[in-house]
Amino acid sequence: MLPRKAPRDRTFRPRLARSFFEQDEQNDGGRIKSPVVVGLGNPGRSYERTRHNAGYLVVDELAKRHAGSWRKKKKSEATPISVGPTNATLLKPATFMNNSGSAVADYNPENLVVVHDDLDLEAGTVRVKVGGGAGGHNGLRSIIGRLGNDFIRVRIGIGRPPAGVGVTDYVLSRMDSVVKDAIPTAADAVEVVLEQSPEAAMNRFNVRG
């Protein structure tokens, strides 16, 4: 096993070959280290089925699968779940996308799995990665600004807007059926991250068809 304080970089790190979340490891204060799955989106009914709310839909799917019950917190909605042997928390920021970082400011970034839409992926594709930049995504930019980028991402491709359509209008428009159909797959990817490791999820979901 590599030393806990390995040199920081922004690439996939060998220690992730093991389970990313060590359930028997304790954080400061004696609290058990456990993952927090953050689905990015905007609150409010008018945003429910937009491309930018793909992350919300994934954590909703996970809550349904694992008998979660959403409870309101100050800046989010949250529910505990168990995925196999792993206890985790699902989180939906109640802030708007641009302020997502404030909803997760109290968490260790290495405990986070952030689920989000991605313009740079073909619509309907699902990919898993660790680290990296915001890629123009305001929710990621807000989280990185608060916590740095050392967290896992589950990315749901929404594709680029067609000619003549601005990015803001595109991401806030109703999602295509192909993106909607990818929501269960993204939930599967989160489950593999939690039960096995990010590397296992990458090996399974980052395969080009």
User: What residues act catalytically?
Assistant: 52
Question: What's the Cα-to-Cα distance from 100 to each of 72, 95, 120, 148, 187, rounded to whole Å?
Answer: 16, 6, 20, 13, 20
DSSP for 33-95, please give it: P--EEEE----SGGGTTBGGGHHHHHHHHHHHHTT---EE-SSEEEEEEEETTEEEEEEEESS
Alpha-carbon distance 31 to 46, whole Å? 38
Alpha-carbon distance 13 to 1, whole Å? 12
Amino acid occupying residue 195: E
Alpha-carbon distance 121 to 205, whole Å? 13
Check if the beta carbon of residue 89 is closer than 8 Å to that of residue 71. no
